[in-house]
Structure 1
Amino acid sequence: MSKKQTSLTEQALSTLNLVGKQLRTARLRRNLTIEHVAGRAGLSLGTVTRLEKGDPGVSLGALTSVLTALNLETSLETVAHPAADLVGINLDSLKKRKRARTIKDDDRDLDADF
Structure 2
Amino acid sequence: MTVRINSLNARKALEALGANIKTARLKRRISIKGFAGRIGVSESTVIRLEKGHEGVSIGTLAMACLVLGELGRISDFLDAGSDDIGLLLTRENLPKRIDGKRKRKSLPKSSSNNDKQSHSPKVDNEEGVGF
Q: Which residue among 71, 74, 93 is the counterpart of 1:73?
A: 71
TM-score (norm 2): 0.70
- Matched pairs, number: 100
In the alignment, is the contact (CA less than 8 A) between 1:21 and 1:53 conserved in 2?
yes
In the alignment, is the contact (CA less than 8 A) between 2:36 and 2:46 conserved in 1?
yes
Q: Which amino acid aligns with 1:60?
A: I
Counterpart residue number, 1:46 = 44
In the alignment, is the contact (CA less than 8 A) between 1:27 and 1:70 conserved in 2?
yes
Q: Which residue among 88, 92, 95 is the counterpart of 2:93?
A: 95
Counterpart residue number, 1:86 = 84
Tell me the distance in 2 between the aligned counterparts of 1:79 and 1:73: 10
Q: Which residue among 2, 10, 13 is the counterpart of 2:11?
A: 13
Note closer, same or farther for the CA distance 1:4–1:66 as it changes in structure 2 (3 Å cut). closer
Tell me the distance in 2 between the aligned counterparts of 1:6 and 1:97: 40
In the alignment, is the contact (CA less than 8 A) between 1:37 and 1:70 conserved in 2?
no
What are structure 2's unaligned runs of at least 5 residues?
100-131
Residue 80 of structure 1: how far off its partner (Å): 1.0
Tell me the distance in 2 between the aligned counterparts of 1:99 and 1:4: 47
Tell me the distance in 1 between the aligned counterparts of 2:39 and 2:2: 25
What are structure 1's unaligned runs of at least 5 residues?
102-114
**SS where residue 77 of structure 1 aligns?**
helix
Aligned-pair identity (%): 32
Determine which structure has more spread, i.e. the larger CA radius of gyration.
2
In the alignment, is the contact (CA less than 8 A) between 1:35 and 1:45 conserved in 2?
yes
Tell me the distance in 2 between the aligned counterparts of 1:66 and 1:100: 49
TM-score (norm 1): 0.80
